[in-house]
Amino acid sequence: MKESKIALGTWAWGAGAFGGDSVFGSKTDEETLRPVFETAMKAGLNLWDTATVYGMGESERILGTFVKEQKREDVLVSTKFTPQIAEMYENSVGKMAEAQWNAWA
């Protein structure tokens, strides 16, 4: 796999209080974003940047839906997680990482 030198950000993906519709006034739901993802992948842009706090999880849910339809080795995902928004329990970082993995697996 040839990896992209450009990462595509998903900060504005999703709807609701923290999604692209509220922040930018644009429709950034799964239906609208699917052609963006597919076109980028066909052009060789396969590095995606996301985080748990993007759309309060909506970004990762949408990206996970698209990634599941690809060969895993063809997609690179760079993600960040924020323990401060996790429930206050032991190993919150591990729990958030596991939740992200489950979104893409």
Write down the domain spans for the chain: 7-104
Number of residues that this document lists for the chain: 105
Which one from 54, 66, 81, 104 is the annotated catalytic residue?
Answer: 54
pLDDT value at residue 94 = 76
Query: Hey, which of 41-55, 71-85, 89-103 has the most confident mean pLDDT?
Result: 41-55
User: How crowded is residue 54: how many other Cβ atoms within 10 Å of its Cβ?
Assistant: 24
Is 89 a known active-site residue? no
pLDDT at position 105 is 64
Per-residue pLDDT reduced to its tens digit, 18-76: 565 655 666 788 898 999 999 999 999 999 998 877 877 788 889 999 999 999 899 99
| Cβ 58 vs Cβ 13: under 8 Å | yes
User: Which amino acid, 75?
Assistant: V
Predicted TM-score (pTM) of this structure:
0.77
